[in-house]
């Protein structure tokens, strides 16, 4: 294990710069169609050459659920401990392949490396084909090594279950362990039973072998980074896959009948549904959050710092019913819900008098259908999808009563969207744990149901809405965070950073400050009424960046909204005249320079934005450099650098320019090995 870097948190030390990029996006001359752990060495050479001190990655855990391109999503881990086999460097074992095998590998690599983007399915198939060959050639030698045996012993608490999960997933051609007739719940007996079958035992040992080699390759790459004074910042995803080894092993720690996501924002007006089960925090607390502690300790083998994905989830999580596709029917969990008496007496709403169903069930009348579908389609909708229940009201037929059921019907897009709107046309949501408590629906003022209320009742609903979302729960959520976050943070010496974007309660920054967890700040994504986040007020305990994997890069953002660009050009940059239609290298340099000259402890920018300063080195199409589109639940994560890292290192003039730019900002500082 390599020694970790220690980040000194004080205002007279540790003003550092760095770059962010997913491992899968790296491109080197040894690539097999995708980046791999060993490529971090070449990336560290570039960082060191340009006086950067931190490399930030996306999650690197195994995500093999569907066994197709959907598994390219790095935030849906099937194990928070296992590394992804796709990052296995085959070239370290070329001598263990036959001449014919090496030739075939080279030809396939040439085809995959010629692609602009990653072909996830072909790459993964290639990796497993040659991993299997390497395993059979090397297993006896490696299995006899004391380091290998120590690794297996040290990690048996998760490795045994993970290997069994992979074997049974492949055998059943499904990761849904509830469909595994004999093995729906993991126990040591499952592991012992599979070992008795020679073929299954061989497969288990294959997964042991792969995890060991990945561990060695990543540890070696991290050690190289440390030798150059480069720290590694990892990413700790907020969720796990529903069909995962973690849920299979510890189902009581998760609410498997619920989903997590995020409430609507400017980038996703219908909210986000990530599909992860939510955490059963009450159960986790019973043993002092051991699962989280073990997870953090495991990742501290590789990371010096980490980005805690969606830190708001430790205050409260956006919990969505199992039958939902979109995120609008979510509710905060945990939260102080309202009972009927409070709704009636404090806010003057005739909740029970009018019938609770009026507020909690989809509000469907003829005029509602006309507004969503148009009068010409009303009769068709009623006949095929609704049941009349009297007094001008309809309910959805059982086969269309949830969004998942509508989605499964494979209807036309306009019809699916309309039925989704009907299902979401409610004012209150029943609490997921107590059927006598209620939460106001997010953006309830935008529902058609809300339109039917008179001005007085609308005003009362508005008052309830503001109280609930902007004050009622703030102290409660703060206490929830103070219960969990110190335990998780103090389980390792890694520098803790939080992703606190989105609908942020006003006390979140204060909690993060007192716990010394760095905030994430993106200039163009203010948390208040400012046009942008004023960089002169960026706090020291923060990670400042220009873009994230969920946003466009600077060059693409510049072209998204002409009015905003012009305002930014004149009012923020202070440049006169008409803004250019395209962000020149000079514009990107000015933006990055302002970021570097702030008080933020870490300024970590996407490599795409660093390259954007050079009009000869940067990619021709900035839109192709966006890593993820968060509004797409199954986005294909396949972005890859357009230049090999070895060639980037040869760009002496550009590297000198970067080193000078960073040096002038006083961010050329060293880190301390702990």
- Where does the pLDDT of residue 495 fall: very low under 50, low under 70, confident under 90, or very high at 90 and above? very high
Helix axes 99-113, 120-143, angle to 10 degrees: 150
- Distance CA(55)–CA(671), nearest Å, equals 13
- Where does the pLDDT of residue 631 fall: very low under 50, low under 70, confident under 90, or very high at 90 and above? confident
- Distance CA(432)–CA(330), nearest Å, equals 10
State yes or no: pLDDT of 315 exceeds 60. yes
- Distance CA(69)–CA(118), nearest Å, equals 10
pLDDT tens by residue, 333-357: 999 999 999 999 999 999 999 999 9
Q: Domain residues of the chain, as ranges?
A: 1-82+214-330+482-674, 331-474
Beta-strand pair 519-522/542-545: parallel
Which helix (H) or strand (E) segment is 290 a member of?
A: helix 290-299
Give the C-alpha distances (Å, rounded to integers) separating 308 from 59, 257, 484, 488. 11, 24, 13, 10
| pLDDT at 473 (0 to 100) | 95
Beta-strand pair 5-6/672-673: antiparallel
Of 290, 173, 298, 319, which is closest to residue 236 (Cα–Cα)?
298
- Where does the pLDDT of residue 496 fall: very low under 50, low under 70, confident under 90, or very high at 90 and above? very high
- Distance CA(322)–CA(325), nearest Å, equals 8
Please report where in the chains the tokens 């609410």 appear, as a residue. Answer: 255
Please report where in the chains the tokens 């039917």 appear, as a residue. Answer: 452
Please answer whether residues 183 and 168 qualify as being in contact, where contact means their C-beta atoms are separated by less than 8 angstroms.
Answer: yes
642's CB contacts (< 8 A; 6+ apart) are 27, 116, 619, 620
pLDDT tens by residue, 508-534: 999 999 999 999 999 999 988 889 999
- Where does the pLDDT of residue 1 fall: very low under 50, low under 70, confident under 90, or very high at 90 and above? low
State yes or no: pLDDT of 12 exceeds 60. no
pLDDT tens by residue, 231-265: 999 999 999 999 999 999 999 999 999 999 999 98
| pLDDT at 499 (0 to 100) | 96
Please answer whether residues 424 and 324 qualify as being in contact, where contact means their C-beta atoms are separated by less than 8 angstroms.
Answer: no
pLDDT tens by residue, 367-383: 999 999 999 999 999 99
Average pLDDT rounded to a whole number, residues 651-664: 97
| pLDDT at 599 (0 to 100) | 94
- ∠322-432-632 over CA atoms, to 5°? 35
Of 435, 432, 452, 434, which is closest to residue 444 (Cα–Cα)?
452
Average pLDDT rounded to a whole number, residues 609-625: 97
Please answer whether residues 585 and 612 qualify as being in contact, where contact means their C-beta atoms are separated by less than 8 angstroms.
Answer: yes
Average pLDDT rounded to a whole number, residues 303-310: 97
Report the range of poorest mean pLDDT among 481-495, 602-616, 640-654, 659-673: 659-673
Of 552, 604, 602, 594, which is closest to residue 20 (Cα–Cα)?
604
| pLDDT at 574 (0 to 100) | 96
State yes or no: pLDDT of 667 exceeds 80. yes
Give the C-alpha distances (Å, rounded to integers) separating 343 from 273, 352, 446, 607. 28, 9, 20, 51
Please report where in the chains the tokens 């979140």 appear, as a residue. Answer: 508
- Distance CA(507)–CA(511), nearest Å, equals 6
- Distance CA(674)–CA(493), nearest Å, equals 9
State yes or no: pLDDT of 2 exceeds 70. no
| pLDDT at 553 (0 to 100) | 97
State yes or no: pLDDT of 591 exceeds 60. yes
Q: Roughly how many angstroms between the first and final C-alpha of the chain, as a whole number?
A: 13
Average pLDDT rounded to a whole number, residues 217-241: 97
What's the mean per-residue pLDDT of the chain? 95
Overall fold of domain 1-82+214-330+482-674:
TIM Barrel (3.20.20)
**For the chain, what is the total number of helices (H) and then of strands (E)?**
26, 19
pLDDT tens by residue, 196-215: 999 999 999 999 999 999 99
- Distance CA(135)–CA(143), nearest Å, equals 10
State yes or no: pLDDT of 140 exceeds 60. yes
561's CB contacts (< 8 A; 6+ apart) are none
CA atoms within 13 A on the CB side of 558: 20
- Distance CA(84)–CA(551), nearest Å, equals 24
Residue 600 corresponds to which tokens in the numbers above? 């933020």
pLDDT tens by residue, 382-404: 999 999 999 999 999 999 999 99
Q: Where are the alpha helices (DSSP H) in 99-229?
A: 99-113, 120-143, 146-154, 156-172, 188-195, 198-227
State yes or no: pLDDT of 673 exceeds 80. no
């Amino acid at each position: 294990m390599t020694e970790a870097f220690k980040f000194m948190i004080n205002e007279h030390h540790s003003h550092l710069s760095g770059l962010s990029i997913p491992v899968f996006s790296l491109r080197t001359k040894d690539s097999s169609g995708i980046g791999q752990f060993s490529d971090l060495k070449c990336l560290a050479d570039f960082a060191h050459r340009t006086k950067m001190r931190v490399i930030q990655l996306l999650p690197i855990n195994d995500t093999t659920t569907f066994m197709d391109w959907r598994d390219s999503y790095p935030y849906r881990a099937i194990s928070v401990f296992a590394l992804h086999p796709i990052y296995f460097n085959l070239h370290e074992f070329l001598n263990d392949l036959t001449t014919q095998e090496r030739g075939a590998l080279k030809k396939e690599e040439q085809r995959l490396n010629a692609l602009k983007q990653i072909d996830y399915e072909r790459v993964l198939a290639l990796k497993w084909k040659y991993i299997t060959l390497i395993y059979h050639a090397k297993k006896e030698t490696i299995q006899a090594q004391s380091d290998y045996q120590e690794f297996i012993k040290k990690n048996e608490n998760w490795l045994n279950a993970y290997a069994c999960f992979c074997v049974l997933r492949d055998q059943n051609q499904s990761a849904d362990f509830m469909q595994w007739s004999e093995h729906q719940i993991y126990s040591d007996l499952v592991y012992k039973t599979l070992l008795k079958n020679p073929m299954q035992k061989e497969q288990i040992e294959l997964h042991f072998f792969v995890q060991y080699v990945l561990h060695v390759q990543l540890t070696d790459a991290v050690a190289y980074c440390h030798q150059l004074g480069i720290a590694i910042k990892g990413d700790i995803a907020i969720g796990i896959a529903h069909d995962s080894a973690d849920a299979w092993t510890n189902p009581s720690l998760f609410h498997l009948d619920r989903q997590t996501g995020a409430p609507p924002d400017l980038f996703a007006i219908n909210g986000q549904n990530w599909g992860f089960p939510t955490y059963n925090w009450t159960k986790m607390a019973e043993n002092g959050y051991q699962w989280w502690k073990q997870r953090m300790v495991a990742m501290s083998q590789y990371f010096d710092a980490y980005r805690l994905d969606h830190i708001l989830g430790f205050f409260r999580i956006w919990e969505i019913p199992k039958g939902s596709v979109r995120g609008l029917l979510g509710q905060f969990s945990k939260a102080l819900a309202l009972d009927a008496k409070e709704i009636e007496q404090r806010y003057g709403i005739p909740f029970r008098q009018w019938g609770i169903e009026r507020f909690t069930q989809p509000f469907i009348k003829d005029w509602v259908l006309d507004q969503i579908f148009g009068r010409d389609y009303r009769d068709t909708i009623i006949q095929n999808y609704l049941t009349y229940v009297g007094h001008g009201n309809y309910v959805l037929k059982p086969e269309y009563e949830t969004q998942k059921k509508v989605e499964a019907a494979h209807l036309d897009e306009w019809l699916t969207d309309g039925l989704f709107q009907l299902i979401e046309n409610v004012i209150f949501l029943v609490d997921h744990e107590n059927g006598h408590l209620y939460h106001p629906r997010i953006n309830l003022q935008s529902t058609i149901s809300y339109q039917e209320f008179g001005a007085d009742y609308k005003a009362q609903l508005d008052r309830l809405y503001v109280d609930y979302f902007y004050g009622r729960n703030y102290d409660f959520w703060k206490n929830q965070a103070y219960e969990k976050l110190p335990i998780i943070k103090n389980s390792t010496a890694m520098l803790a950073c939080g992703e606190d974007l989105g609908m942020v309660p006003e006390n979140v920054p204060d909690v993060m400050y007192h716990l010394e967890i760095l905030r994430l700040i993106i200039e163009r994504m203010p948390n208040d009424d400012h046009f942008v986040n004023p960089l002169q007020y960026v706090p020291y305990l923060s990670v400042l960046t220009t873009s994230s994997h969920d946003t466009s890069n600077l060059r693409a953002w510049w072209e998204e909204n002409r009015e905003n660009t012009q305002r930014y050009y004149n009012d923020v940059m202070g440049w006169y005249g008409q803004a250019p239609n395209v962000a020149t290298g000079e514009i990107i340099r000015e933006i990055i320079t302002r970021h570097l000259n702030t008080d933020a402890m870490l300024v970590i920018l996407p490599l795409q934005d660093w390259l954007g300063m050079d009009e000869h080195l940067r990619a021709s199409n900035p839109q192709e450099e966006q890593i993820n589109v968060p509004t797409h639940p199954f986005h294909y994560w396949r972005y890859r650098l357009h230049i090999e890292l070895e060639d980037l290192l040869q760009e002496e003039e550009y590297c000198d320019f970067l080193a000078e730019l960073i040096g002038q900002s006083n961010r050329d500082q060293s880190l301390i090995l702990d």
